[in-house]
């Protein structure tokens, strides 16, 4: 029944927008997805697998794929890229050592044909931790200002409290409405 409804909604224009959550392991991807589901949006139903959730914000439906960030899994991120409208890149703002690795992964993703039209939301997570990098520092280290090929936005957040996540959902919504 749920499947049928989803299909009917797609036919009548209330379609789902595909979102992927990427980032290195331990960045906070799963915590953020959980916050989206419990705090800021209506959780409808878990779908295809435990790592895919549907999030409804007002009349906008996002199908959100939480993809593993371990090194072995990063090699297969590309297999999720097809039809993705928004990429959420979660950064652990306390992990200065691996920020360069995140930068490499980000620029590799942006160069991929299947993500040509995707918008990118960079979440500077773990802002509650003292001494964590600010969104501006992360933005500079990831050389976000050099990105002109994609629409992007950087947002400071804390997955534990949910701070910064409503603004993230608003930006995501504005992106899909704009297209
Ligand atoms: P991942 O899905 O990207 O691998 P997780 O990351 O969501 O599993 O989070 C990894 C660890 O970081 C978890 O701690 C989680 O509680 C913590 N974490 C996530 N977001 C935040 C945040 O905003 N602030 C703080 N302080 N911690 C955060 P554990 O101890 O369970 O491994």
One-letter-per-residue 3-state SS of the chain:
CHHHHHHHHHHCCCCEEEEEEECCCCCCHHHHHHHHHHHHCEEEEECCCCCEEEEEECCEEEEEEECCCCHHHHCCHHHHCCCEEEEEEEEECCCCCCHHHHHHHHHHHHCCHHHCCCEEEEEEECCCCCCCCCHHHHHHHCCHHHCCCCCEEEEECCCCCCCCHHHHHHHHHHHHHHC
> How far is the centre of ligand 1, averaged over its atoms, from the C-alpha of 179 (Å)?
32
> How far is the centre of ligand 1, averaged over its atoms, from the C-alpha of 17 (Å)?
26
CB distance 40 to 165 below 8 Å: yes
CB distance 120 to 151 below 8 Å: yes
Q: For the chain, what are the domain ranges?
A: 15-178
Residue 1 has pLDDT above 60, yes or no: no
Distance CA 98, CA 23 (A): 11
Name the residue of 25, 29, 30, 31 whose CB sits within 8 Å of the most ligand 1 atoms, as the mutation to test its pocket.
31
164 within ligand 1 shell (Cβ under 6 A): no
Domain 15-178 has CATH 3.40.50.720: no
pLDDT attached to residue 70: 75
pLDDT attached to residue 3: 57
Tens digits of residue pLDDT in 91-149: 999 999 999 999 999 999 999 999 999 999 999 999 999 999 999 999 999 999 999 99
Tens digits of residue pLDDT in 145-173: 999 999 999 999 999 999 999 999 999 99
> How far is the centre of ligand 1, averaged over its atoms, from the C-alpha of 91 (Å)?
11
Indicate which residues carry an active-site annotation: 70
Tens digits of residue pLDDT in 21-40: 999 989 999 889 988 887 54
pTM of the model: 0.89
pLDDT attached to residue 47: 40
């Amino acid at each position: 029944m749920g499947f049928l409804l989803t299909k009917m909604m797609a036919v009548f224009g209330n379609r789902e927008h595909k979102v992927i959550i990427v980032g290195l392991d331990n960045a906070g991807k799963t915590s953020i997805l959980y916050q989206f589901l419990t705090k800021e949006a209506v959780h409808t139903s878990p779908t295809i697998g435990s790592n895919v959730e549907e999030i409804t914000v007002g009349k906008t439906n996002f199908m959100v794929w939480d993809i593993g960030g371990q090194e072995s899994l990063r090699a297969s991120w590309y297999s999720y890229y097809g039809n993705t409208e928004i990429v959420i890149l979660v950064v652990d703002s306390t992990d200065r050592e691996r920020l360069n690795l995140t930068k490499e992964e980000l620029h590799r993703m942006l160069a991929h044909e299947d993500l040509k039209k995707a918008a990118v939301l960079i979440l500077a997570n773990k802002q509650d931790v003292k001494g964590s990098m600010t969104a501006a520092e992360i933005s500079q280290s990831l050389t976000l200002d050099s990105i002109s090929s994609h629409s992007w936005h950087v947002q400071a957040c804390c997955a534990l409290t949910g701070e910064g996540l409503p603004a993230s959902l608003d930006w995501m919504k504005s992106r899909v409405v704009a297209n």
